[in-house]
Amino acid sequence: MPANPDKLKVVKEYSRREILLSMARQPGSSRIFCGGSEFKVYDLDLSAEKPEPKEMAGHGSYVMGVARVGDEIVTGSYDRHLIWWNTTTHEQLRKVKAHDKWIRGVVASPDEKLVASVADDMVCRLWDPASGKPIRELRGHKPQTPQHYPSMLYACTFSPDGKLLATGDKVGHVVVWEAATGKQVATLESPENYTWDPRQRRHSIGGIRSLAFSPDGKLLAVGGIAKIGNIDHLGGKALVQVYDWASGERKHKFEHGKHNGLIEQLRFHHQGDWLLGAGGANKGLLLFMSLKDNKFIRDSEAKMHIHAIELSEDSETLYAVGNGNAIIWEMKG
């Protein structure tokens, strides 16, 4: 039976005292590598009756990105460094000063031949995962907002075939790149993801927090938050928009009337049956969306604000980490 969101149920919870901010999963298993607010990386087998995390210490701030490449992982932090780790020995293999400002995300291409990192210096860098050497820089995002405040480069993702890379920033600007050459092939604007408050706080908030290509690579989902009324409590509706990235046409808009908060992560069902958005505000949030019917097919609150998710190869199992927890859900037909 295909993965069915209506059958969603929690099958495992693992509590942590800190915030788990990033994650990568070893294929075919419940073994995850996650980074947290205590500046550490953990190797955690959630299939164990009593999971015992194995620590990897070496970062000097929040660990915001984890990418798996073979028997290694690459992690990125607010400390501006990337670290390569051996997943068997947990040995630190190399540490590289990668950016001039906070690193916001790290992802690997599906063929594991490239690693991409994005940071608040508004640069996306591509790395050779085998040597740790930089391959090229992608510069297509402005360093300041229209109100002359610092911008941020939150999100990046590869297409399923690894040929494309998309990056998204604070003001809703998206660039689609050709991964092999670094050529810009398209740009999109999603200004609804950005809020500027000129009166109370002179504060800008929001931005594109998550990106995902559809399985056929033709559509690009953009996640974040709609216009915010109360900036102290993320008082804006969860917002996901889906574009035909080549033409720039918006095909779908999903704005939830009940749930506020950021969409921190997006994942497509492996055959495109649905799109999942995860995040939250004070509470966690899971939104399942049907592109065929252009509607929400399930919304669920989660025990925690969710920062990172992974789907199993058959999309029947959902892994998530966030504020104080790692959780496994199953949705078997």
Residue 226 three-state SS: coil
Do residues 292 and 252 touch, judged by C-beta distance below 8 A? no
Task: Read off the pTM.
Answer: 0.95
Residue with tokens 């690193």: 103
| 231 pLDDT above the threshold of 90 | no
Q: Where are the beta strands (DSSP E) in 190-316?
A: 194-197, 203-206, 210-213, 219-225, 237-244, 249-260, 262-268, 275-280, 284-290, 295-302, 306-311
Sorting pLDDT into bands at 50, 70 and 90, what band is 299? Answer: very high
Residue 183 three-state SS: coil
| 181 pLDDT above the threshold of 70 | yes
| 201 pLDDT above the threshold of 60 | no
CA distances in angstroms from 230 to 104, 188, 227, listed in the order given: 24, 27, 10
For 5-17+102-330, the fitting CATH number among 3.40.605.10, 2.130.10.10, 1.10.10.1200, 3.30.200.20 is 2.130.10.10
63-69: strand order across its sheet: 63-69, 72-77, 81-86, 92-97
Least confident of 75-84, 99-108, 235-244: 235-244
Q: Can you give the pLDDT at residue 128? A: 98
Q: What is the CA radius of gyration of the chain?
A: 18
| 229 pLDDT above the threshold of 80 | no
CA distances in angstroms from 88 to 26, 33, 202, 272, listed in the order given: 12, 12, 48, 34
Q: Can you give the pLDDT at residue 260? A: 81
| 1 pLDDT above the threshold of 80 | no
- 3-state secondary structure string, 286-312? EEEEECCCCEEEEEEEECCCEEEEEEC
Q: Can you give the pLDDT at residue 232? A: 58
| 182 dihedral zone (left: phi>0; alpha: psi -120 to 50; beta) | left
| 239 pLDDT above the threshold of 70 | yes
| More confident position, 17 or 109 | 109
Q: Can you give the pLDDT at residue 121? A: 98
Mean pLDDT, the chain, whole residue set:
94
Say how far apart CA 159 and CA 154 lie, in whole Å: 17
Sorting pLDDT into bands at 50, 70 and 90, what band is 200? Answer: low
Q: Can you give the pLDDT at residue 203? A: 62
| More confident position, 232 or 145 | 145
| 159 pLDDT above the threshold of 70 | yes
List, for residues 74-93, the tens digit of each pLDDT value.
Answer: 999 999 999 999 999 999 99
| 204 pLDDT above the threshold of 70 | no
Do residues 172 and 189 touch, judged by C-beta distance below 8 A? yes
Do residues 141 and 153 touch, judged by C-beta distance below 8 A? yes
Task: Write down the domain spans for the chain.
Answer: 5-17+102-330
| 42 pLDDT above the threshold of 80 | yes
Sorting pLDDT into bands at 50, 70 and 90, what band is 199? Answer: low
Structure tokens, 329: 């859900």
Residue with tokens 């929690």: 10
Percent of the chain with pLDDT over 70: 96
Q: Can you give the pLDDT at residue 228? A: 79
Q: Find the length of the chain.
A: 333
pLDDT, average across residues 42-48: 96
| 309 pLDDT above the threshold of 90 | yes
